Amino acid sequence: MSIESRLRQADRIVIKIGSSTLTHSTSKLDLGRIESLIRQIVDLKNQGKEVILVTSGAISAGRGKLDLTEVANTIPEKQALAAVGQGLLMKIYEKIFSEYGSTLAQILLTKGDITERKRYLNSRNTLFKLLDYGIIPVINENDTVAVDEIKFGDNDTLSALVASLVDADLLVILSDVEGIYTSDPREDETAQLISKIDRITSELEKIAGGAGTDRGTGGMATKIEAAKIATRAGVMMMIANGSQEYILQEIVKGVNPGTVFLPDEQKLASRKKWIAFNLAVQGKLIVDAGAAEALLNQGTSLLPCGVIEVRGGFEAGDVVDVLNKDGEEICRGIVNYSSQEVEAIQGLQSTEIIDNLGYKDYDEVIHRDNLVCLETD
């Protein structure tokens, strides 16, 4: 199916709007642009599309409300600004959405809402029910209480996780640039926009720079990471310039104004998406060439005999990365034994586990049902 057809046929769409799109350089909210984007979102809903909005801007809006010129650097500063800005942002959203006859629902997420399986499923069911009611969910990270989300997280990643969570057809990330370029267009006049990306390579990751403007936490590097999650989950992702007039309406008509990341044809099942993207990795297992080949090409479980090294400390039930001998991540999964137990049985046959541990809970270090293989270059 062509990109144009995929865009036109996308029925469930997650739209992420970055801080630099929502605010002026003064950090004051850009009300004209917000109104234009909300009008387009409501128009998509009126066309029969299901739309979820992931919004940034709480910290930046709080900074603008308090007329602060310096960028907040500490966690307490960012949390305080988010507490001020979130209410302001939602007040504006509520007013404009209601003027166009639509109802929104505010959802503030933390990592626990997607790392814990029960809360993950509850979040998924809540979002589906809101969409059934014709309500537009407006999602942001709970920046006022979640330290890790501010310090390490970004809403590009959050939007990809949400797109994966709800089995979206399309994720649109609106930024202050058109998409991915062959080099930094701010420094290289010959830089060319890459309109389509079939596969994310290490070379592409090198092209992506660091953070974006001082009004946001994400740059192109975070968008590449978001694309990894979305495409592996079977979601097509687009980066486009949020300041372009009628940008959302053009996209659903089949126009590609930015960079499109094509999804994997074989998308992951819900449980494997949860394992691959939503759980914190606690350690690493290095496997030999035979085990790597069997995992990637034969869909086998990881047995003790294939493990040659254990890195980090973890407990049974934790998530670990599986690396080949070259240090490339090839799989991720939920481990059946602790790091100490795996060290004791690595390189052994499953029949030898009980002789070394005194017990045997499982034949496998990671069962294939709890294992997700990832593509490598």
CATH number at residue 327: 2.30.130.10
Q: Please state, in angstroms and rounded to a whole number, the distance separating the CA atoms of residues 34 and 56.
A: 12
Same domain, 236 and 291: no
Same domain, 290 and 352: yes
Which residue ranges make up the annotated binding site for substrate?
56, 143, 155
- Boundary (domain end) residue, out of 212, 240, 272: 272
More confident residue, 148 or 236: 236
> Which residues make up each annotated binding site?
16, 56, 143, 155, 175-176, 217-223
Q: Where are the beta strands (DSSP E) in 178-246?
A: 196-197, 236-241
**pLDDT tens-place string over residues 277-286:** 877 899 999 9
101-106, Cβ contacts within 8 angstroms, sequence gap of 24 or more: 101/42, 102/42, 102/45, 102/136, 103/134, 103/135, 103/136, 104/53, 104/135, 104/136, 104/137, 104/138, 105/130, 105/135, 105/136, 105/137, 105/138, 106/138, 106/140
Residues 155 and 287 in one domain: no
What are the pLDDT digits (tens) for 231-263? 989 999 999 999 999 999 999 999 999 999 999
C-alpha–C-alpha distance, residues 199 and 194, integer Å:
12
| Residue 275 pLDDT class (50, 70, 90 cuts) | confident
Answer whether residue 210 shows pLDDT above 50. Answer: no
Question: 209 vs 140, which has greater pLDDT?
Answer: 140
The pTM (predicted TM-score) of the whole model is 0.84
Binding site residues for ATP, as ranges?
16, 175-176, 217-223
**68-126: pLDDT as tens digits:** 877 777 778 888 888 898 899 999 999 999 999 999 999 988 877 887 888 888 999 99
- Greater pLDDT, 281 or 218: 281
| pLDDT-based confidence at residue 212 (cuts at 50, 70, 90) | very low
We report the CATH number of the domain holding residue 44 as 3.40.1160.10
Q: Do 144 and 113 fall within a single domain?
A: yes
pLDDT digits (tens, 9 = 90+) for 297-315: 998 999 999 999 999 999 9
Alpha-carbon distances of 159 from 18, 22, 167, 239, 362, rounded to whole Å: 11, 16, 12, 12, 36
Cα 68 to Cα 322: distance, rounded to the nearest angstrom: 46
Confidence band for 211, pLDDT divided at 50, 70 and 90: very low
| Co-location of 287 and 268 in the same domain | no
How does the average pLDDT of the chain come out, rounded?
A: 89
85 and 210: one domain?
yes
Residues 217 and 348 in one domain: no
| Same-domain check for residues 237 and 312 | no
- Whether residues 268 and 290 share a domain: the answer is no
Question: Quick one: average pLDDT of 120-145?
Answer: 90
> Which stretch of DSSP H or E encloses residue 140?
strand 136-141
Domain count, the chain: 2
Does one domain contain both 208 and 80? yes
pLDDT at 149: 43
Q: What is the pLDDT of residue 209?
A: 61
For residue 290, name the pLDDT band (cuts at 50, 70, 90).
very high
| Residue where a domain terminates, one of 272, 301, 318 | 272
Domain that holds residue 332: 280-373
Same domain, 185 and 244: yes
Predicted confidence band of residue 269 (pLDDT cuts 50, 70, 90): confident
In the listed set 250, 272, 294, which residue is the last one of a domain according to the structure? 272
Do 237 and 323 belong together in one domain? no
